[in-house]
Structure 1
């Protein structure tokens, strides 16, 4: 299935249409779905869930891996990370979202926009300015193998001068992941110099690095742009 835009962007279009045209949201959603070739929004949503890129990403990750989720703003990297955590929770795995960017209510609202059922309550949300490698390691200490955690986001882990350099934090997190089997993902910003005319999806060369970082700490990287999702090994 190839949609004209990611599902979260289609939902946004529907909400705007409902507001501007003063029609019911379900009617606006169904109209968007018909434009994508589906008889109703429920059919589009169910098919999208079956083909969810988050499931492909999750199935491609082994215990103890560090991976990146990279995209330009508005292309769904945070939502993909949250969806991945929801998929992990459905499998009975511990799922944790560490965020330096959002409050807990903001994160919950985003999760519930993806899953109106009870799975949102199974995710652990940690919103704190104190998040660092040491903080994450202490929080996840004793977690079962296969636990999945997402850190939002990579480039501000060492923004406070009191925190260790990002390279040192990643080294500690890599060793922790290897020793415990916890899967750690890092949402990452893409540099403005990325040009979709040259490449349809960013790659490791496009990760914004205000401070030097050895990207070989990571085993996998997932990049998004305009609905396209690409998972690659980090050599």
Structure 2
């Protein structure tokens, strides 16, 4: 069943309904769900959860969230980030990929390889490859972004490699404040520490994120950890 609007817009509609009608948010969510053909919001959420991982993550992102997508090289974190942006395009949202790792041509090839139907215009994903990418650069680039915009940064640790830029902790804090003010969801692709041992646990977790310098991971609202074809999506706080 196709929803009449993206899930983030339905959530926003429910919040406005709750405020204007002075009712509990869960009652407003259930009313929205019934209008979409579900008896309650939990059933609508279950319907969303049955979709591919990237679509499920997009549906669970709130305006202003920071998302962490972490895994070892070759385990799908970049693919997930790009799929998330394509899902945003499908929902008619602005989608921006900031990369210090790929050229624009490489990124475009990756995006095209992920398009299996013709209902998505991959060219609508904006690709930014400037060596100047930092929190300040990203905030300037997204200064006119509308609520619901989705951006993905490739990747967290590389923001910390130039001494001319603020430390990564300051950059993440600045982007967190910006995201909440503008209503933009920002995803960070992240490396996992080499000490992660898949023999002792199947998937990495928040404690396995590679941090050359201290970062407050509590600034991230959600996280998805990937390894060997498995993934776990969770709330960080």
- How many residues are treated as equivalent by the alignment? 186
1:177 is matched with 179
C-alpha deviation, 1:199, in angstroms:
1.3
**Counterparts of 2:224 and 2:101 in 1: how far apart (Å)?**
20
CA separation in 2, counterparts of 1:188 and 1:89?
A: 23
Q: 1:77 aligns to what?
A: 77
Check if 1:113 corresponds to 2:110.
no
Structure 1 segments of 4+ aligned residues over 4 angstroms from their partners = none
Deviates more, 1:191-200 or 1:67-76: 191-200
**TM-score if structure 1 supplies the norm length?**
0.77
In the other structure, the counterpart of 1:99 is 99
**For residues 17-28 of structure 1, what are the structure 2 equivalents within 5 Å?**
none
Give TM-score, length-normalised by structure 2: 0.76
For 1:153 and 1:122, the matched residues in 2 are separated by 21
Shift of 1:62: 0.5
**Partner residue, 2:13:** none
SS at 1:83 equivalent: helix
Tell me how far 1:128 sits from its aligned partner: 1.3
Structure 2: distance between partners of 1:123 and 1:227: 25
Deviation at 1:234, TM superposition (A): 1.1
Give secondary structure in 1 for the equivalent of 2:69. strand
Structure 2, unaligned runs of 5 or more: 1-49
Whether 1:59 and 2:59 are equivalent positions in the alignment is yes
Match runs of 1:22-37 below 5 Å: none
Secondary structure of the 1:192 match is coil
Mapped to 2, the partners of 1:91 and 1:173 lie a distance apart of: 23
Q: 1:5-24 deviations in whole A, cap 9, x for unaligned? A: xxxxxxxxxxxxxxxxxxxx
> In 2, Cα distance between the equivalents of 1:214 and 1:121?
34
Q: After superposition, where does 1:37-48 map in structure 2 within 5 Å?
A: none
How big is each residue's C-alpha offset from its partner over 1:77-124, in whole Å with a ceiling of 9 and x where there is no partner?
A: 000000010000000000000000000000000000001535211100
Look up the SS of the partner of 2:121 in the other structure: helix
Match of 1:225 in 2: 227
2:147 equivalent in structure 1: 145
Q: Root-mean-square deviation (CA), in Å?
A: 1.1
5+ unaligned residues in a row in structure 1: which ranges?
1-49
